[in-house]
Amino acid sequence: MKRYDVLVVGAGPAGLSAAVEAARLGLRVAVYDENARPGGQLFKQIHKFFGSREHKAKIRGNKIGEELLQEAAAAGVEVMLNAAVIGVFAEKEVAVRVNEQILCRQADALIIATGASENMVNFPGWTLPGVLGAGAAQTMMNLHGVKPGERILLLGSGNVGLVVSYQLLQAGCAVVAVVDALPRIGGYGVHAAKIARCGVPFYTSHTIVRAEGVNQVTGAVIGELDKDRKIIPGSEKHLAVDTICLAVGLSPLSLLCALAGCAMEDNPAKSGYVPLVNRYGETSVAGIFAAGDVSGIEEASAAMIEGRIAGLAAAQRLGFLTQEDLDARVAVQERALASLRQGMFAPGSRGQTFTATTEGCPLSQNLLRQGYLTDTELSAYPGVVWAEGLHPIIECTQNIPCNPCRDACPKQCITVGATAGQITALPIFDAQKGCTGCGLCVAACSGQAIFLVDEEAGEITLPYEFLPLPQKGEQGLALGRSGQEICAAEVVDVKTAKVFDQTNLLTIRVPVQYARQARFFRRAP
């Protein structure tokens, strides 16, 4: 039987990070993944990630995947694809299905990093062709270049639903509605705002009543929910859609942990049934570790850190690292993890309602319900300073773990938190630092929440990631934060640069009185 020092199940960010750490310390490591491609969720995520530099923030998910794979190859990790681990037995023996064959493998330490599976909801018509999971939509458009549909209803407004909606727009699909049963949008306000300004309407406190169609989806009916989550009679609304995309949450894919005999718990803060783990990610079975979404749904940034910790701990168990050395290295990782786990979207904040940021700024209720900030709410935030001349307006108004805007600015005009660890603080713009209007912050912002504004000239520079790219001199319409058409606009500049990493900077000119409102450009039909 083939043996390894460490066998990792799952080649997502958690599994690859674990493998790299262990292999760098000289262990013989293999990663098995049932998929034909490594990288787990990462290769479907073509947006710039949140976090800070050490979490690879500002880099697009697919690029992070490539970096991890290169690190794994350089460290001598063996990555085995199309290899589903289907059983875990005593003595860390595992059964792997490769093509129709079952192989047995053994390791001294096992790291389970199987990620998550998508939750489902039932409604009349949910089995019709044209109803699909958000992950399926991403696989189609981002891996294979096939549109999931033309007119799409997105069910679920968590980060997954918001990110997938944006990706659908990038793929050239129309997102007809984002529907959520909860009274507020679940994901980051900046993710919601970037689709709202493209004209995507949000229906919070709404649910799908039925999918219509005989052989495939030809429409959908949604309805508004009352306080008892019952559909308000007469509130039903028909939507002409051909595709219904479900993004109603993820659950840890922890079956292998249970099979391995690990003590498990049902923990809503971790979004489901998870193995109990200690500080090192070790389960109740000595030498079996769990890392990433499998031990609680979070982000790739957290998954990579948990993976590193598990990889280091496995090395210590096998005698490749002293306990002292392990604890010193883990402490560094734990600090990074703690900085991510702050603020209103942290796992520990689930179920709580917030009305203000930690700085005491009132949270925009309109952003939570409709996905955009109103003009009057805007001035309450430290990133919004109406200065003279060209300067950024930072419409980032919730405590999210993110700070690439700070790192991007060569003039140190933007700060996020008093110390490096406070990455959930709101970005602050300092007009005294001499902003040059370079636009680097606009392109770096993972939430596409920064605009350069020159009120006197009526010019707004905005991030633009759609095709076809408008041309200088082109006439069109300016849209407000809600996606409403507000005035005519002319494109006066289009900047693309390698440092902008595929985010183009579009400068539009509008009548000066609209400079505070215009936030998107629509090409003339």
Residues found near other proteins in the complex (CB under 8 A): 34-36, 46, 60, 117-118, 127-133, 135-136, 139-142, 144-147, 170-172, 215-216, 465-467, 469, 502
Pick the binder of ligand SF4 from 409, 453, 460, 515 (CB under 6 A): 409
The CA distances from residue 154 to 117, 234, 455, in Å, are: 18, 22, 36
Q: How far is the CB of 60 from other proteins (least distance, A)?
A: 7
Nearest residue (CB) to ligand SF4, 93 versus 465: 465
Q: How many CB atoms are located within 10 Å of the residue 143 CB? A: 13
CB under 6 A: which stretch of 161-169, 216-224, 434-442, 493-501 binds ligand SF4? 434-442
Residue at 524: amino acid letter: A
- What DSSP string runs through 247-277? ---EEE--HHHHHTT--EEEEGGGTEEEE--
The sign one gets for the Cα dihedral 129, 134, 139, 145 is: positive
Residue at 234: amino acid letter: G
408 binds ligand SF4 (CB under 6 A): yes
Pick the binder of ligand SF4 from 414, 489, 508, 518 (CB under 6 A): 414
Nearest residue (CB) to ligand FAD, 6 versus 256: 256
Pick the binder of ligand FAD from 109, 175, 208, 253 (CB under 6 A): 253
Alpha carbon distance 400, 394 (integer Å)? 14
Using alpha carbons only, what angle is made at residue 209 by residues 206 and 213, rounded to the nearest 5 degrees?
Answer: 135
Three-state DSSP class for residue 460: strand
Nearest residue (CB) to ligand SF4, 7 versus 408: 408
Alpha carbon distance 35, 32 (integer Å)? 9
424 binds ligand SF4 (CB under 6 A): no
137 binds ligand FAD (CB under 6 A): no
CB 360 within 8 A of CB 64: no
Nearest residue (CB) to ligand FAD, 200 versus 225: 200
15 binds ligand FAD (CB under 6 A): yes
- Using CB under 6 A as the binding rule, the residues of this chain from 291 to 330 that contact ligand FAD are 292-294, 298-301, 303
CB 161 within 8 A of CB 154: yes
Alpha carbon distance 346, 424 (integer Å)? 10
Alpha carbon distance 341, 192 (integer Å)? 21
Q: How far is the CB of 410 from other proteins (least distance, A)?
A: 25
Choose among other proteins, ligand SF4, ligand FAD, none what residue 241 binds, the Cβ cut-off being 5 to 8 Å by kind: none
Alpha carbon distance 12, 39 (integer Å)? 4
Choose among other proteins, ligand FAD, ligand SF4, none what residue 118 binds, the Cβ cut-off being 5 to 8 Å by kind: other proteins
| Contacts to ligand SF4 by CB under 6 A | 190, 392, 394, 396, 402-405, 408-409, 411, 413-414, 416, 427, 435-441, 445-447, 449-450, 452
